Amino acid sequence: MGIGARCLAVVALLSEFARPYPLDGFAQTGIRRLAGYKLTIKIPPGGQLGMSQISLRLRGVNESFDITDRTPRDPYLQKGIESIFSGRDPSYSLALLDITDPAAPKYAAVKEMERRIPGSVGKLLIATGILGALRRIHPNDVAARERLLRTMVTADSFVHRDSKTVPFFNDGDKAVVNRRLQIGDTFNLWEWMDHMLSQSSNAAASVCWQQAMLLHRLGADWALSKEQREAFFRDTSKKDLAALSLESLETALTASGIDTTKLRIGTFFTSNAERIVPGTGSYSNPRELLRWLVKMEQGKLVDAWSSLELKRLIYFARPRYRYASSPALNHAAVFFKSGSLFECVPEPGFQCVQYKGNKTNLMHSVTVVESGTKVYLVALTSNVLRLNSAVEHQTIGTLIERLVQGRPAGK
């Protein structure tokens, strides 16, 4: 993104390099890029799990656990993370839960109630809203939900504007081709969610949120043509659209036990969609993001099938970035969503570059790590100005892995 005379740069919570979802999932989901990547992409050892190897670590074991103001801090973890952040910028906020023993989770946190916009991490909430709407339509029929997820959806003006590319691949192609989404591009709903989470595509996120609204309002009759969708959003009042946009996500979140006064995405991810559907404030904090991960591991995000699908959708199955790129995690299975937002203003001697803003430099990482016998959940946010936060989160990922692995026996 170019920097104009005012030296202003805003790049919203994106990445070129994320490729979640197990590569053997093509037959079930119809996510076509999986077939292309399976042929050509080298992936780290921790990214080679199949669909059947991904499980919910708290389901059926500790589904009553929750994190509240009264949740005790584990002395070993608390001392360790305080040491990790003692010499770092005071903007860091973190909530950590070790579920290696699922019957006895161990919690630690630093400034875990610090409120920040969620940015692209909020795309997790859109996926939750879609899966919640599918459950409302077919509460006892997973196969029917999967059929709806394979419904083809054609992009309309909601994809404008977004500079990100997404992968295109069809049977017989020699390679995966990446380009920007355009009006008329067609993918099934599973693929749109995959583009939203794996590529962090803002265009795909706006399409997915649009579909969540239609699913919530129209139920089984949600699959409108492009022309019918345009009429729906043209003829529905702005006030009704604004209310529906929140309701389509927050119904499922509230039913799952998430506190939407602490975790909300309120504004669409593309300028044209934002013009059509009025937005509101967005906010998050590490504790509520960690609770989202806990609910997922318990099978309580919508239901067990939806929780497992969400976990598969954020599984890393190729080279990693930011927190997940820590070399210490190469052999670990990593389930990950991140986001960044940097903004620059004129400053003598300062050059604005990605992830290093001098006005705003947000970086968020939401992660499940399954490393050897250890399993732990991390929600980390920061706003460290003038520092490459992608590298810093990678370093913190290494230090937390060492901390969890280094717990003395019996402690």
In single-letter form, the type of residue at position 378 comes to V
- Which residue matches tokens 């990482």? 365
Residue 349 pLDDT: 86
The pLDDT, as a whole number, for residue 339 is: 85
In angstroms, what is the C-alpha Rg of the chain? 20
Rounded to an integer, what distance in angstroms lies between the CA atom of residue 367 and that of residue 334?
7
The domain of 136 spans 11-405
Instruction: Please give the torsion angle defined by the CA atoms of residues 213, 216, 222 and 228, in that order, rounded to the nearest 10 degrees.
Output: -40
How confident is the model at residue 12, as a pLDDT?
Answer: 34
Provide the number of structural domains found in the chain: 1
Residue with tokens 């946009």: 245
Question: Is 274 part of any domain?
Answer: yes
Residue 39 lies in a domain: yes
Measure CA of the first residue to CA of the last residue in the chain; give whole Å: 49
Q: What is the pLDDT of residue 175?
A: 79
Residues 6+ apart with CB under 8 A from 231: none
Residue 265 to residues 279, 313, 335, 381, Cα–Cα distance (Å): 9, 19, 21, 16
Residue 246 is assigned to a structural domain of this protein: yes
Compute CA distances 26 → 32, 36, 42, 408, whole Å. Answer: 6, 10, 17, 42
The pLDDT of residue 39 is 61
d(CA 291, CA 301): 10
Q: 5 in a domain, yes or no?
A: no
pLDDT of amino acid 32: 67
Residues in the chain: 411
Q: What are the two backbone dihedrals, phi and then psi, of residue 250, each rounded to the nearest 5 degrees?
A: -80, -20
Query: Could you tell me if residue 3 is inside a domain?
Result: no
Helices and strands, counts by H and E, the chain: 13, 10
186-188 and 11-12 as β-strands: parallel, antiparallel, unpaired?
unpaired
CATH value at residue 104: 3.40.710.10
Question: Which residues of 93-238 form beta strands (DSSP E)?
Answer: 93-98, 106-110, 152-154, 165-168, 177-180, 186-188
Please give the pLDDT value at position 7.
37
Instruction: Answer for the pair 88, 95: CB distance below 8 angstroms, yes or no.
Output: no
Predicted pLDDT at 20: 58
- pLDDT value at position 353? 79
Is residue 411 situated within a structural domain? no
Q: What is the pLDDT along the chain (411 residues), one digit of tens a residue?
A: 333 333 333 333 333 333 457 767 777 786 767 766 766 666 777 777 888 899 999 999 999 999 999 999 999 999 999 999 998 999 999 999 999 999 999 999 999 999 999 989 999 999 999 999 999 999 999 999 999 999 999 999 999 988 888 888 887 777 788 889 999 999 999 999 999 998 889 999 999 999 999 999 999 999 998 889 999 999 999 999 999 999 999 999 999 999 999 999 999 999 999 999 999 999 999 999 999 999 999 999 999 999 999 999 999 765 567 877 888 998 999 999 988 888 898 898 888 878 788 898 888 999 999 999 999 999 999 998 988 888 889 999 999 999 999 999 877
Tokens 């404030």 — which residue? 281
Model pTM score:
0.90
Determine, yes or no, domain membership for 385. yes
Nearest Cα neighbor of 337 from 159, 121, 178, 134 is: 121
The whole-angstrom separation of Cα 212 and Cα 128 is 9
User: What distances in angstroms separate CA 335 from CA 66, 207, 368, 371, one per listed residue?
Assistant: 20, 23, 5, 11
Answer yes or no: are the C-beta atoms of 280 and 242 closer than 8 Å.
yes
Q: Of 274, 257, 256, 275, give the one whose Cα is nearest residue 265.
A: 274
In this structure, the strands spanning 93-98 and 106-110 are antiparallel
Return the structure tokens found at 227.
């022309």
Contact 194, 310 (CB under 8 A): no
Q: Is residue 400 part of a domain?
A: yes
